[in-house]
Amino acid sequence: MTATSAGTADFPHPAIAGKLEALAARDRQAVIASLLEQDSTRVDRFKAEAAGWRLDFSRHLLQDESAATLLELAADARVLEDRDALFSASPLNHTEGRAVLHTLLRAQAPPPGLEREYAEVAECKSRMGQWVQRVHDGSHVGHRGQRISTIVNIGIGGSDLGPRMVVEALGGFRVPGIDVRFCANVDPADLNAVLTGLDPHSTLFIVCSKTLRTEETLYNARSARQWMLDAGIPEDGLAQHFLAVSTNLEAAREFGIPAANILPMWDWVGGRYSLWSAIGWSIAFAIGMPRFEELLAGADAMDQHFHSAEARDNMPLWLSLLEIWYVNFMGAQVHAVIPYQQQLARLPAFLQQLSMESNGKSVNHSGQALGYATAPILWGDVGTNGQHSFHQLLHQGTVLCPVDFVLITGDTGASEGKSRLLANGLSQMRALMLGRDLVASQRSLTARGTDAERAAELAPHLVIPGNRPSSTLSCEALTPYSLGALLALYEHKTFCSGRIWQINSFDQWGVELGKEMGAEIFAALDGSGQRFDPSTDAALAGIRHD
């Protein structure tokens, strides 16, 4: 299988791009296993370490000269110079005229010039922690005096994916007696499933919406409110059961949530970068504020690494350069993240918004259409499950799909299952790299008793091309700290790629049109009579049973 060069017309830094095109033509013919066999130092050079994580990128179609040229590209693009903007109030999000300061949410000390913002974050975290404490110690109770036993987060996108993933990933760190559930979809089936079995009198809702204009969240918040009223909780008793997080404090108050129950968000935090803010309130309820602070500390450790490490040793930068290499020079249009850790099952879903809502763009900073590829389709699922669903394509398909395997390597002695999990992860990386040729396939058939003639017929079907690239991200244990560092790693990878592609990674204008059309079509379902296009009109007629 050979990758074709992606659209690199008018790729920035043309001289370096030309070199990379030529190097890619050579590296497409490389044999990864041979690169490792011929150079015993490769596995020690094609690695980066930070905040307890180790990145092994030795199993790639990438030779030394290509790696060095990618570093030249990063230098020419001034990626590491630009990273300072993530730690200052410069309007990195230029189409919305906003700074990008999610790093401030986890900063362990006020960055110069951001003392006011740092103080606001600290004050918000203090109020967040007081509520968590009061619910945990029972000093905050429901309208009828019952302790709160269930937190329901109502939010979608960045107001759901991050908190939901972190709460699931850190299941081993849960505070006893507190169940945390998430509702995101406007489909009533979502909220109905979440509310099933709950006692309204011991349920606390957190309405999370940076804008508080998101129709799904507003609809679900209204439905939850009605559920409480139907349970006999009076209007003036609702305040004990509703919290909110938003930049839109007025809308929260209009919904009937008192100011004391509302925590602020800031427009310098993008939704997909917001789990570190009060949007992560559900996380703090689930694992307690000290553990939430550990999550922040892990992210801050990765921030410090990203902010100070030289390019050669910079882990987020290497993840980004590998993305640029495969997308823009090796022709890949997809990228898989496969965590071999059940608690990280929702990591790919979180990374989809982070990567594809940030870098799924096709115009540059000046609004000019791009002639080159940007964000690939990020997908994935947990291992070993994927081995029994999509790994067939990874091994014998026709798609070039670089894979990030995420491994938690500690406590293998804890159980046979954990050892089997890691053995499977390592074997998948090895099989992707080595494959199995025709002779070995034939031999494997005869070894299981297939006669020679049949074996000769079948062998081509068992050939595994191999030479398929993957990285390994590994750490000793999945803790709040290590998870925070991992998520910050991918945030900074996303930043680096956006800078090299010269796009704005922090707006999301592409989601607006669908929302606008949704409002019109919703009105048409109610009989507004508006006509659209033959396909939509036919669908509407069918739904309305015209």
Contacts to ligand F6P by CB under 6 A: 156-159, 209-211, 214, 217, 271-272, 357, 508, 511
210 in catalytic set = no
Cβ distance to ligand F6P smaller for residue 442 or 508: 508
> Nearest distance from residue 115's CB to ligand F6P, in Å?
27
Contact in structure between 90 and 80 (CB atoms under 8 Å): no
Which residue has the CB atom at the shortest distance from ligand F6P? 271
Phi, psi of 40 (to 5 degrees): -65, -15
Quote the CA–CA distance of 1 and 165 in Å, as a whole number.
35
At 255, which amino acid appears? F
Contact in structure between 251 and 212 (CB atoms under 8 Å): yes
Cβ distance to ligand F6P smaller for residue 158 or 466: 158
Quote the CA–CA distance of 52 and 189 in Å, as a whole number.
40
Cβ distance to ligand F6P smaller for residue 157 or 288: 157
> Nearest distance from residue 37's CB to ligand F6P, in Å?
46
- Of the listed 357, 361, 491, 493, which one is catalytic? 357
DSSP code for 471: E
Contact in structure between 481 and 449 (CB atoms under 8 Å): no
> Nearest distance from residue 286's CB to ligand F6P, in Å?
19
> Nearest distance from residue 483's CB to ligand F6P, in Å?
20
How many Cα atoms sit within 13 Å of 183 on the Cβ side? 28
Residue-wise burial string across 492-515, b where 16 or more C-beta atoms lie within 10 A, e elsewhere: bbbbbbbbbbbbbbbbbeeeeeee
81 in catalytic set = no
**What string of H, E and C letters represents the secondary structure of 232-252?**
CCCHHHHHHHEEEEECCHHHH
Quote the CA–CA distance of 131 and 319 in Å, as a whole number.
38
Cβ distance to ligand F6P smaller for residue 290 or 518: 518
- Of the listed 310, 388, 461, 512, which one is catalytic? 388
388 in catalytic set = yes
> Nearest distance from residue 498's CB to ligand F6P, in Å?
15
Cβ distance to ligand F6P smaller for residue 280 or 288: 280
Alpha helices in 279-437 (DSSP H): 281-287, 289-308, 315-324, 347-352, 358-359, 391-396, 416-434
Cβ distance to ligand F6P smaller for residue 375 or 401: 375
> Nearest distance from residue 265's CB to ligand F6P, in Å?
8
Q: Which sequence positions are flagged as catalytic?
A: 357, 388, 515
